[in-house]
Chain A
């Protein structure tokens, strides 16, 4: 690979935006090529110098001046929320909302399960009772039919 191609990679290498394998290749080349090594050093210095310049900040009262300009404009809101929806939207952070929603779902699921199991228990008792009575009737009916026939055979 020519030095021109290696030099194009120096910037992303400086930003740590190359793969580990590619980084090793670049480092290997830099050890053997003084021109590329010097260029990499210069880019590194440039980066450090730019970083050393302290950030510029806006003057005090930035928001107040903005507010004045804002008073002439109105936002286009997604929707107007009223009543409980407004309270819901604004009262809890997202995590709180998720926790409330999960709790509500769990509570509903448990309530439903309890309700279902109590209903099915009652139904089972009723069915059992009906079955029992029916079997009793069947037994007595079979006894009535079988006994005379048995006596006749005897």
Chain B
């Protein structure tokens, strides 16, 4: 039987552990993808994704059902990523930079590009290009990066983003505009070269 997110939340609240498992399986890939987009490191993305679901497990009773479950989950995801980043700022030796991913085991060889027959952009055949984009995304400020990642990876509407970040639609509009402008400037030569 296919339950909605809200039904699974309700059942978990009533003590049904299986419902929690179903929620995890439904969202683990999306949460991981968002976290990876923000932290840019597989090992850390796995750890933080698990941290997200641990918090879901502990604090799901706080979800009142006023918004959709996924906006609540994504807000939690962003909070986990931002607090992890803040913690790491206090540990300079462990700061991870996507600019040097090989130091952390994420060598460019691990990146798979989309099926070329699906992509009109030949330039994506170049792994260096994908790395450039990831590196550019990683160089954005945390707030801009989180907003950009949720918009591009999860295709959340401005209304949903405003709910996740608890700000106005205008703020989201401005953040995305700034994020894209910064990215555009960083990889401009590649953008001009693409056919």
Q: Residues on B close to A: CB < 8 A?
A: 1, 3-4, 6-7, 10-16, 20-21, 24-25, 28-29, 32-33, 36-37, 42, 45-46, 49-50, 53-54, 57-61, 111-114, 118-121, 123-124, 129-130, 133-134, 137, 151-153, 157-158, 173-174, 176-177, 180-181, 183-184, 187-188, 190-192, 194
Chain A at the B interface: mostly helix, strand, loop or mixed?
A: helix
- Contact indicator B12/A75 (Cβ below 8 Å): yes
Asked if A152 is at the interface (CB within 8 A of a chain B CB), the reply is no
Chain B at the A interface: mostly helix, strand, loop or mixed?
A: helix
Asked if A8 is at the interface (CB within 8 A of a chain B CB), the reply is yes
Number of interface residues of A (CB under 8 A): 45
**Which of chain B's residues have a CB closer than 8 A to the CB of A93?**
1, 3-4, 7
Distance in Å from the Cβ of A63 to the closest Cβ of chain B?
Answer: 5
- Contact indicator B45/A46 (Cβ below 8 Å): no
**Which of chain B's residues have a CB closer than 8 A to the CB of A89?**
10-11, 14
Q: Residues on A close to B: CB < 8 A?
A: 7-8, 10-12, 14-15, 17, 39, 42-43, 45-59, 62-63, 65-66, 69-70, 73, 75-81, 86, 89-90, 93-94
**Which of chain A's residues have a CB closer than 8 A to the CB of B119?**
48, 52
**Which of chain B's residues have a CB closer than 8 A to the CB of A10?**
177
Partner of B152 from the list A47, A58, A69, A94 (CB cut-off 8 Å) is: A47
Alpha-carbon gap, A81 to B176, bound state (A) = 45
**Which of chain A's residues have a CB closer than 8 A to the CB of B191?**
42, 45-46, 49
